[in-house]
Structure 1
């Protein structure tokens, strides 16, 4: 389970909206000198606030500090869909056009059409997955003391 601390901003039946502070882990990475994330972090865009709708069975009050979680396998499957499906569709359609004897411009246009189709598939899958409670962030419980107060949110 991937967990993140946050503060409850609003409450609705069966869910809460939680504000989190996204931060980079560049301080712990060995490749930080050659990574664009380090530059973005130094420019100030790495600590932006995130707003997440999380499902819950408990009653929370606005201002409560909570821990929200997402299953790791959901994150991995989502990343595979987002990154692999457009590329897979691009290659399948381009190779099919080439196998059917298409000229180079036709293969390029087919590849672009395949890429667009891959993005449409990703969007369709995202809409389907957004209704699945197993893939939606859940409130794990109240945030315990970890030495870092959330008062600076």
Structure 2
């Protein structure tokens, strides 16, 4: 489970809007001296606020500190589909066109059509799974007021 600390901004029936602060891991990296990401962190773009709608079945109040989580397998599955499917479709379309003996401009056009069809398929899948609770973050636990409990954060939204 990928976890992040957040603060409740507003409540809806069965859901809540949570504010999180995105942090980078630059302080623990050995290559931070020559890294562009570390430079952006030093310039101030590293601690941005994020707002996310999460599922919630616990009684909470606005301003409460919570731990929200998203299943790792959901992130892996969605990322794989979003990145691999368009590229795979592009290569398949280009290879099929090449096997038909078409010239290079036709192969390039077929590759572009394959990429576009992969993006369309990915968009269709995302719309279909929009209501699936397995792909939504949820409130895992409520932190008591003034809690300084250590957090085992394995990822960030």
Give the structure-1-normalised TM-score.
Answer: 0.89
Change (3 A) 1:16 1:32: same
1:82 alignment partner in structure 2 = 82
Gaps of 5+ in 2: 152-157
The offset of 1:126, in angstroms, is 1.6
Three-state SS of the structure 1 residue aligned to 2:66 is: strand
Q: For the residues of structure 2 that align with 1:34 and 1:108, how far apart are their CA atoms?
A: 37
**Pairwise mapping of residues 63-82 of structure 1 onto structure 2 (< 5 A)?**
63-82=63-82
Q: For the residues of structure 1 that align with 2:135 and 2:8, how far apart are their CA atoms?
A: 20
Three-state SS of the structure 1 residue aligned to 2:4 is: strand
Q: For the residues of structure 2 that align with 1:45 and 1:106, how far apart are their CA atoms?
A: 43
Indicate the structure whose relative CO is greater, using CA pairs within 8 Å and at least 6 residues apart. Answer: 2
1:151 alignment partner in structure 2 = none
The offset of 1:33, in angstroms, is 4.2
2:5 alignment partner in structure 1 = 5
Give the structure-2-normalised TM-score.
Answer: 0.87
Q: For the residues of structure 2 that align with 1:94 and 1:86, how far apart are their CA atoms?
A: 12
Q: For the residues of structure 1 that align with 2:4 and 2:78, how far apart are their CA atoms?
A: 18
Aligned length: 148
Gaps of 5+ in 1: 149-153
